[in-house]
Amino acid sequence: MPQLNEPKLISGNANRPLAEAIARRMSMHRGVNVGLVDARVERFNDGEIFVEVFENVRGEDMFIIQPTSNPANDNLMELVIMCDALRRSSASRITAVIPYFGYARQDRRTKARTPITAKLVANMMVSAGVERVLTMDLHAAQIQGFFDIPVDNLYASPIFALDIADTFRDRMGELMVVSPDVGGVARARELAKRINAPLAIVDKRREKPGEVAEMTVIGDVTGKICLIVDDICDTAGTLCKAAEVLLENGAKEVHSYISHGVMSGPAVERVTKSVMKSLVITDSIQPSATILSAPNIRVVPTAPIFAQAILNIWHGTSVSSLFEAETLTPIYESLYSQKK
């Protein structure tokens, strides 16, 4: 049964367009206007963050929409300070909607005397008053265990499967899904299963961090349209080199589907000049004007799935149902007609 209090959305400065898109989508689903709670998230002259909520939130079911993307520290502090403001204003429940969970790559100790920052960030959020987390494609599934509160981890692969079925509808038999490293095989296998395609792996060896010394393709990609699947594209160096190696091994075309387009430094320039036909990312991180103007980069929206997930959490119904094509297809039917 739905709660008596209404779901209310509030947003920081990390990805305001996505927050507004989620609110619009929820308005469509519910038939009533859903807007963002009126608030200001500003900085003092010395950089301190100040939050003020202008609406009454006592007893309300609050959803803070705030990815912790670049600048990660500022956006993380905005999130926990907004949470503190809502908790002290007697909100009944606070859910952090974090489309991109920053610091996720620091999920284990790879060397002596290094931190597990993902766990530290989880502790900060819980201490600030976050009671539930809704996110997408965590870098490592184990991060869910860093929280002692419920965590709903959505997946971009069902959305990518719809996009692939629409984009390559006449060439589905030529597709091959490729994992850019051994660690991402589970993610690639999930997408391959959804589109009924074979799987290959690019094995990379590093001489030192940030530099790839050698790449080997495991699997026969000859004559295939290769779809590289990964969760994060940062500087795009490894991604572009993997595309070159695949073509050298006989691939017909190379496209990439990446959940979170961090796209720092020379990433956009590299992708634009690369042999990849296209790079598809989500809007979990607000795309820059440079990304939007790149000829071979496309952005698919996550607002429909996040809006429905928020409503499911509010109603107390299944979030995992959104992983099924039968459930997700109607939500995205305006984008993907699925014509045969």
* Residues with a known catalytic role: 204
**How many C-beta neighbours within 10 Å does residue 28 have?**
11
Residue 33, class by beta-carbon neighbours within 10 Å (0-12 exposed, 13-18 middle, 19+ buried)?
A: exposed
Residues 78/92, Cβ–Cβ less than 8 Å: no
Gyration radius of the chain's alpha carbons: 20
Q: Where are the beta strands (DSSP E) in the chain?
A: 7-11, 39-43, 49-53, 61-65, 93-98, 132-136, 151-154, 175-179, 199-208, 211-218, 225-233, 253-261, 278-282, 297-300
DSSP letters, 222-239, are: TT-EEEEEEEEESS-HHH
Residues 26/310, Cβ–Cβ less than 8 Å: yes
Q: Which residues contact 240 (CB under 8 A, 6 or more apart)?
A: 270, 271, 274, 275, 276
CA atoms within 13 A on the CB side of 71: 6
Return phi, psi of residue 261, to 5°.
-85, 80
Rounded Cα distance between 172 and 68, Å, is 36
